[in-house]
Amino acid sequence: MAVALCLSAVGVYASVLTGFGQGLGMIAFMVCTPWLLSTPASPATLAKRRKLFGGAALSQGLLLAPLVRTALALHPGVLFTAFAGTAGVFACFSAAALLSPRRQYLYLGGILSSVLSTFLMLRLGSFFFGGAALLFQAELYVGLAVFAGYVVYDTQVIVERSEAGACDELRDALSLYTDFVAIFVRLLVILLRSAEEKQRREREREARSGAGRRRDARTTRLH
């Protein structure tokens, strides 16, 4: 997974510098990910699957570039905060899964999938009935909790597969990498919105303070 994160960082950096690659990233991600998942794990296919894994991670970085570019333009500090927060959440929930009794959280898979399916249907419904802004707000926080839950679930699934001798390192790394990116994106958007709201309140406070000073100055001149 660390390799995937490094490749994504390369993709983000290249796209931010050049402003190119989002469309290509979408196509590459939609090709590499299903191809990797559908290719059986074997020594003969290992090299090809590694290339597909790297392509999926690099293309995901290209897709993340617009959000990162926005963060750099508005509030650069939140990028590190979001990454550090994501790493902390990931580490804590992975540790919880590893230290808990085996199979304790495997039931989460059905619940988490149901929540994601519900939000997908609500998103489709919002195109016809409205409420997209409220739904987006709910998706941020509920989605953050859902993918934190997926970290626990996927970690325990990986442990069970390993115990059964059916471990697929690349598929497992892709699952955890997807969870990490999903948490990072939501946390970054939440922090950006919070920073924007704080900045807006400060501007309003300064505007009110300035209006008050001008009013006091006019009163003083009249006297």
From its phi and psi, is residue 193 left (phi > 0), alpha (psi between -120 and 50) or beta? alpha
pLDDT for the residue 15: 86
Buried b or exposed e, range 95-105, using 16+ CB within 10 angstroms: ebbeeeeeeeb
pLDDT for the residue 47: 92
Task: Answer whether 44's CB lies under 8 Å from 9's CB.
Answer: no
pLDDT for the residue 1: 80
pLDDT for the residue 223: 57
Look at the pTM and tell me if it is higher than 0.75: yes
CA atoms within 13 A on the CB side of 28: 20
Q: DSSP label at 107?
A: T
Token code pair at residue 26: 């979408």
Residue-wise pLDDT tens digits, 141-160: 888 999 999 999 998 888 88
pLDDT for the residue 186: 93
Residues in the chain where the model's pLDDT stays below 70 = 130-131, 210-223
